[in-house]
Amino acid sequence: MDQSKINALRAEPVATRTHIIGGEHVPASDGDLMDILSPIDGQVLTQTAKGTVADMEAAIGAARAAFEDKRWAGQPPAARKKVLMKWADLIEANALELAVLGVRDNGTEINMAIKAEPGSAAGTIRYYAEALDKIYGEIAATPSDILGMIHKEPVGVVGAIIPWNFPMMIGAWKLGPALAMGNSVVLKPSETASLSLMRMVELAHEAGLPDGVLNAVTGEGAVVGEAMGLSMDVDVLVFTGSGGTGRRLMEYAARSNMKRVYLELGGKSPNVIFADAPNLDEAAKVAAGGIFRNSGQVCVAGSRLLVEASIHDEFVAEVAKASSAMKVGDPLDLGTAIGAVNSEIQLKANLGFVETARAEGGDVVLGGSRILQETGGYYMEPTIVTGVTVDATLTQKEVFGPVLGVTAFESDEEAVRLANATVYGLAGAVWTSNLSRAHRMVREIKTGLMHVNTYGGADGTVPLGGVGQSGNGSDKSLHAIEKYINLKTAWIKL
């Protein structure tokens, strides 16, 4: 990447954004707007339409009309593939523009954003485009005078609520399989990070996606998100975000049409370090990156470090050393390793967790404070807290910020007990040279994703989904398609 190109894109004004409904740019029905603050400097970056219930209903109506007249679902698989492939190409062609726009909006460091946002989104869309004409129905084993057929049909209208930490990447996880299977979609981006995702929707229309198949409404979750959840015309609802919001969406589904709801609700992921790890220096560097990249605002972040007692002090010192070497600062500077916290509200919440940790007896051995206040932006030091007990807040509650809690263990059994001591079960890792131990840990730690001697990097070929209060259903891989199809049996007497 070229820093001068990044700087030029940074300087470009960002036009006021509207909804995208039925292929048209549409302002809020009452004309209201929301200020969008950049976490880089705390200044107003632009404004977006502040959606109303009527706006969401219009978008859902457009999606329903597009589905029922089969302008997309009725196209041959090869035709849908061609559009999705062109969309992926356009995302790649505009990758730097999209990445810089997203960083200005949510604060992710540009080195991470370029790969995790447009890079990942293009790859995901292309993956499902390649897959869509390889998804077949089935012929059942039946008596000779019966033909039993199992058809795979699109569900209809999909509502997708997308978080602010990786809007393009996570948006593509929902959009790729949903659109590949012929569904229509209504997107509700986060209030604090919608700009790159809205631009991605525009590119979908440039690629030839028919009007009404993909719609996007910006606004407050309590208004337009609730309207989506309560709609009688949304068939499937997918969401990535907090447990509290996930519970409300399930309630909305029960109060409306019993729509299927798939939730990815974050985690409190354990990163388990044994003394026989093949490379403790590498494990320390990876542990630091696994929690502090994107200021800890990663669903699968390794926020709980469980370290075998015999190496605890030495290993924590190495993690602190690696963390201290990660530059916190302007996320559009290529030399920055840790960007901005997404919002002032999130920053204050992060600092509150540190104060709680101190009050509960934790020892803050690194960081713990807001920094770079003179910029007006929202920046926080990478923070490490040792002496975190199993019932401490840092064990039980997701921070979603650059705060690492450390706990020592003595045995394999204690490591498993600690790893499983929360209501979450999204991700985890174990570092060991013992093959049997590695397999036992993979089997016994209750998560949807387990790493061995690494952390992060699982690509789109494998599913990501949680157990417990980390949610249900899976994003990524062919398994994600299951959320966006209905199975229909045809029982035919010959």
- Tokens representing 157? 């209208």
- Tokens representing 431? 């570092």
CA distance readout (Å), 261 to 218, 228, 264, 414, 474 = 21, 12, 10, 35, 12
Residue 282, SS3? helix
The verdict on whether 202 is a catalytic residue reads: no
CB-based contacts of 175, cutoff 8 Å, min separation 6: 125, 160, 185, 187, 214
Residue 198, SS3? helix
Distance CA 51, CA 58 (A): 11
Assign 3-state DSSP to the chain and report helix, strand, coil percentages, each to 5: 45, 20, 35
- The active-site residue out of 264, 308, 318, 398 is 264
Q: Is 364 left (phi over 0), alpha (psi -120 to 50) or beta?
A: beta
User: Per DSSP, what are the bridge partners of residue 485?
Assistant: 154
Distance CA 271, CA 283 (A): 10
Distance CA 137, CA 154 (A): 12
Distance CA 366, CA 379 (A): 15
Q: Where are the alpha helices (DSSP H) in 69-194?
A: 77-93, 95-106, 110-114, 120-131, 167-180
Residues serving a catalytic function are: 264
